[in-house]
């Protein structure tokens, strides 16, 4: 399958981040046509396109928009989830740095469709470069009359606020993000009510991922048939894949959904030193790992589900045979323990106990009984917390046990750093490593 | 805490940015951290007043988010990603080297007030692993040697450029950007690098493109 740069098509133009640069490549023409349409027609177009959320869950975007009650007398809000923090996910930050106006154009069209006059872009605080590039695009768009009052003479008003987070992975969970945006601790809310009915300031709110919103100008501008040329019936469109790990050319590769990991790996220059693929994750640390036997599975929502995992953020992490699965899983659990917001007991306490137990395996002090305890712990956490962080924390260990039980068994007697030399996994060597 | 007229104006601008004042709490805390190199009880009290909440509520927010530091950071914040991808690809060795160079550990500042070291979680740059940050600007694809070199150059007061962003300023300057992101630096440096262009370049080399449409999008 060929690469199909759409969102990334003009990233090699250093001026793309400016309004003039974006316009030179056809930017904001979709907005002009969108503002002449009935907002419901735009929702219909996005529904017909079959676009699914690119933030991880894959929920149909048009359907989400249609849940917003109309003529309810309440203000509506659009909130862009730009809190990309999932381990392995690194595609929204590059999009915002390279092509911020695609996001802004998508925000304006989406706000018009859902009848929102106020949009927020919640960007994680640890990436000032993305924050300043997006804020610069907002300023330019405002100065050009693309944001503000009576946009392009249509009577539509929109204000966009760029909001910096402050270092909390949990704020990528949509209801935690809303609490954070309201100036509260970033802890998830119980659903229902869903944000489409009672979101920001208890008003109807659509929350979409950055890449999802960036698809909107292309769908509205080029049409449903054009969009559906890419991908499959259940996973239409293209995807900004970010390939990381032990590959020769890690980076951004945009291709239709349905491309395989083997094809992406080939574009990424193959494995470093031709070492074998040991395990890989299609989209973030929260999805179950796969092995070399799954390299030909199409990267679609449905095929990944059939393989027992999820497409997630579509940002594959690939590890070679120098890496200890026990160590990788332990490190992810240390992350979830650190990022658990503390609201729900199973997640707060569970991540603590799983991590501590895994750290004993890492030191070679695990036991057969504790392997069973870990399985039990993960089972006790799964599905028992407000949000998906608990489920995510309960995912890596069972997935790793499915394919690499022997490694956990070995870690009952041998420290993993003895079985796997850490330096063998480094991407630098010799003098650089001192 | 006595605040200047300029600070008062900035706080009022932040409150005016949102439909409800409380939403300005996070940017206000970033602003406080740009004035001092930490979030103090006095700074929190100021934010609470402008946000219309109690100091206790504002404290509960400040203590929840890891970027708000409750002790002085000093001039430069150094982050080394130790999550699975960066850590295993060499970030662990980078962290050890930087920690040894600075003589401090996780969440500690050097005695001279120049550096603060933190083991950070995923920075959304796994394609650029191992990743370090200086005042939260990207220092991609570091090695133990190159990471220590960055620290050395900063210590000597030399100009250091982010790999995808502007010349490094200092921690407090970045915190001001987080409160007021229009910092005039959007055109600095080369933020779109080879790795972000990897797929596009191959597509162009091999004559691959998305199917055209009648309209331009």
Q: What is the rounded average pLDDT of the residues A34-55?
A: 98
Looking at residue A209, the DSSP 8-state letter turns out to be E
Residues of B in contact with A319 (CB under 8 A): 88
Closest in B24, B90, B204 to A183, CB measured: B24
- Give per-residue pLDDT as tens, A198-241: 999 999 999 999 999 999 999 999 999 999 999 999 999 999 99
Q: In sequence order, what are the beta bridge partners of A238?
A: A256
B217, pLDDT greater than 60:
no
A152, pLDDT greater than 60:
yes
Q: Cβ of B16 under 8 Å from any chain A Cβ?
A: no
Helices (H), A159-209: 174-181
Q: Cβ of B160 under 8 Å from any chain A Cβ?
A: no
Closest in B27, B186, B203 to A133, CB measured: B186
Q: Does the beta-carbon distance from B84 to A29 stay under 8 Å?
A: no
Mark which residues 87-126 of B lie under 8 Å from A by CB.
Answer: 87-90, 92-93, 97, 120-126
A135's tokens: 């804020």
Q: Cβ of A204 under 8 Å from any chain B Cβ?
A: no
Q: What residue of A is the nearest CA neighbor of B134? A: A126
Looking at residue B78, the DSSP 8-state letter turns out to be E
Q: Does the beta-carbon distance from B20 to A201 stay under 8 Å?
A: yes
Q: How confident is the model at residue B216 (pLDDT cuts 50, 70, 90)?
A: very low
Fold of A19-222: Rossmann fold (3.40.50)
Closest in A98, A127, A432 to B146, CB measured: A432
Structural contact between residues A129 and B138, judged by C-beta atoms closer than 8 angstroms: yes
Residues of chain A with CATH 3.10.20.600: 238-320
Closest in B145, B146, B211 to A229, CB measured: B211
A424's tokens: 């063998």
- pTM value is 0.98
Q: Does the beta-carbon distance from A129 to B181 stay under 8 Å?
A: no
Q: What residue of A is the nearest CA neighbor of B201? A: A12
Mark which residues 65-124 of A lie under 8 Å from B by CB.
Answer: 75, 84-90, 92-94, 97-98, 118, 124
The reported pLDDT for the residue numbered A361 is 98
Q: What residue of A is the nearest CA neighbor of B188? A: A129
A130's tokens: 């993305």
Residues of B in contact with A2 (CB under 8 A): 203, 206, 208
Q: Cβ of B155 under 8 Å from any chain A Cβ?
A: no
- Give per-residue pLDDT as tens, B45-78: 999 999 999 999 999 999 999 999 999 999 999 9
Interior/surface letters A120-136, b for 16+ CB within 10 angstroms, e for the rest: bbbbbbbbbbbbbbbbb
Place of tokens 């262009």: B197
Q: How confident is the model at residue A21 (pLDDT cuts 50, 70, 90)?
A: very high
Mark which residues 8-47 of A lie under 8 Å from B by CB.
Answer: 8-9, 11-12, 14, 16-18, 26, 29-30, 33
The reported pLDDT for the residue numbered A429 is 83
The reported pLDDT for the residue numbered A92 is 98
Residues of chain A with CATH 3.40.50.11540: 19-222
* C-alpha distance from B138 to closest chain A C-alpha (Å): 8
Residues of A in contact with B17 (CB under 8 A): 161
Q: Cβ of B173 under 8 Å from any chain A Cβ?
A: no
Q: Does the beta-carbon distance from A97 to B196 stay under 8 Å?
A: yes
Q: Which CATH number fits domain B5-62: 1.10.8, 1.10.357, 3.30.2420, 1.10.10?
A: 1.10.10
* C-alpha distance from A391 to closest chain B C-alpha (Å): 19
Helices (H), A205-324: 210-222, 224-228, 261-267, 301-306
The ipTM is 0.97
Q: What is the rounded average pLDDT of the residues A165-170?
A: 96
Q: How confident is the model at residue B213 (pLDDT cuts 50, 70, 90)?
A: confident
Q: What residue of A is the nearest CA neighbor of B146? A: A432
Closest in A118, A182, A253 to B199, CB measured: A253
Q: Report the first-to-last Cα separation within chain A, whole angstroms.
A: 42
Fold of A238-320: Ubiquitin-like (UB roll) (3.10.20)
Between CA A63 and CA B170 the distance in angstroms is: 45
What angle do helix axes B171-179 and B25-35 make, rounded to 10 degrees?
Answer: 150
The reported pLDDT for the residue numbered B30 is 98
- Give per-residue pLDDT as tens, B162-192: 999 999 999 999 999 999 999 999 999 999 9
B90's tokens: 């060499």
* C-alpha distance from A376 to closest chain B C-alpha (Å): 24
Sorted by where each begins, the domain ranges of chain B are 5-62, 76-179
Q: Does the beta-carbon distance from B30 to A166 stay under 8 Å?
A: yes
CATH architecture of the region A325-425: Up-down Bundle (1.20)
Q: Which CATH number fits domain B76-179: 3.40.30.10, 3.30.470.160, 2.40.50.100, 3.50.50.60?
A: 3.40.30.10
Q: What residue of B is the nearest CA neighbor of A100? A: B186
Structural contact between residues A119 and A161, judged by C-beta atoms closer than 8 angstroms: yes
Q: Does the beta-carbon distance from A86 to B60 stay under 8 Å?
A: no
Q: Does the beta-carbon distance from B124 to A127 stay under 8 Å?
A: yes
Beta-strand relationship, B132-134 and B76-81: antiparallel
Sign of the dihedral through C-alpha A263, A212, A41, A112: negative
């Amino acid at each position: 399958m060929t690469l199909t740069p759409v969102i990334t098509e003009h990233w090699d133009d250093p001026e793309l981040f400016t309004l003039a640069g974006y316009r030179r490549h056809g930017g904001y023409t979709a907005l002009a046509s969108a503002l002449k349409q009935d907002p419901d027609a735009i929702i219909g177009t996005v529904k017909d396109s079959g676009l699914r959320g690119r933030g991880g869950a894959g929920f149909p975007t048009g359907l989400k928009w249609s849940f917003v009650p109309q003529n309810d007398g309440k203000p509506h809000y659009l909130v862009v989830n730009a809190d990309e923090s999932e381990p392995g996910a690194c595609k929204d930050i590059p999009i915002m740095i390279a092509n911020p106006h695609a996001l802004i154009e998508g925000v304006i069209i989406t706000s018009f469709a859902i009848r929102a006059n106020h949009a927020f872009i919640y960007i994680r605080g640890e990436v000032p470069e993305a924050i300043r590039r997006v804020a610069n695009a907002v300023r330019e768009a405002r100065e050009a009359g693309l944001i503000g009052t009576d946009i392009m003479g249509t009577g539509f008003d929109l204000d966009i606020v760029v909001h910096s987070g402050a270092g909390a992975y949990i704020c990528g969970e949509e209801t935690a993000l809303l609490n954070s945006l309201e100036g509260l601790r970033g802890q998830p809310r119980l659903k229902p009510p869903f944000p489409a009915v009672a979101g920001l300031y208890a008003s109807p709110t659509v929350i979409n991922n950055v890449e999802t919103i960036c698809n909107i100008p292309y769908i509205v501008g080029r049409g449903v048939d054009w969009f559906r040329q890419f991908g499959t019936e259940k996973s239409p469109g293209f995807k900004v894949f970010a390939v990381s790990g032990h590959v020769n050319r890690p980076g951004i590769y945009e291709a239709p959904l349905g491309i395989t990991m083997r094809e992406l790996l080939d574009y990424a220059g193959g494995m470093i030193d031709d070492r074998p693929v040991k395990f890989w994750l299609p989209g973030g640390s929260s999805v179950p790992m796969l092995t070399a036997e799954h390299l030909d599975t199409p990267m679609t929502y449905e095929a990944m589900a059939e393989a027992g995992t999820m497409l997630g953020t579509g940002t594959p992490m690939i590890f070679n045979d120098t890496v200890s699965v026990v160590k990788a899983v332990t490190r992810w659990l240390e992350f979830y323990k650190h990022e658990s917001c503390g609201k729900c007991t199973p997640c707060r306490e569970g991540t603590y106990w799983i991590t501590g137990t895994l750290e004993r395996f890492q030191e070679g002090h695990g036991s057969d009984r504790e392997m069973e305890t870990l399985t039990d712990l993960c089972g006790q956490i799964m599905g028992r917390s407000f949000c998906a962080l608990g489920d995510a924390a309960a995912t890596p260990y069972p997935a790793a046990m499915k394919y690499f039980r022997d490694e956990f068994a070995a870690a009952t007697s041998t420290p993993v750093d003895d079985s796997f030399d850490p330096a063998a996994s480094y991407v630098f060597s010799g003098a650089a490593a001192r | 805490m006595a605040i200047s007229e300029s600070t008062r104006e900035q706080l009022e601008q932040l409150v005016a940015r949102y439909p409800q004042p409380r939403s300005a709490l996070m940017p206000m805390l970033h602003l406080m951290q740009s004035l001092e190199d930490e979030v103090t009880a006095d700074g929190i009290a100021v934010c609470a007043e402008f946000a219309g909440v109690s100091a206790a509520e504002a404290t509960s927010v400040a203590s929840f988010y890891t970027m708000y530091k409750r002790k002085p950071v000093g001039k430069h914040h150094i982050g080394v990603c130790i999550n699975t991808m960066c850590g295993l690809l060499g970030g662990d060795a980078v962290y050890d080297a930087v920690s040894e160079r600075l003589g401090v550990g996780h969440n500690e500042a050097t005695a001279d007030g120049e550096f603060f070291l933190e083991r950070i979680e995923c920075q959304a740059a796994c394609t650029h692993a191992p990743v370090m940050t200086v005042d939260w600007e990207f220092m991609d694809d570091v090695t133990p040697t190159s990471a220590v070199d960055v620290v050395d150059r900063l210590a000597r007061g030399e100009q250091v450029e982010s790999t995808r962003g502007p010349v490094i300023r200092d921690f407090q300057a970045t915190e001001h950007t987080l409160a007021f992101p229009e910092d005039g630096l959007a055109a600095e440096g080369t933020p779109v690098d080879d790795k972000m262009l990897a797929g596009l370049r191959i597509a162009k080399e091999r004559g691959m493109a998305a199917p055209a449409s009648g309209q331009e999008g």
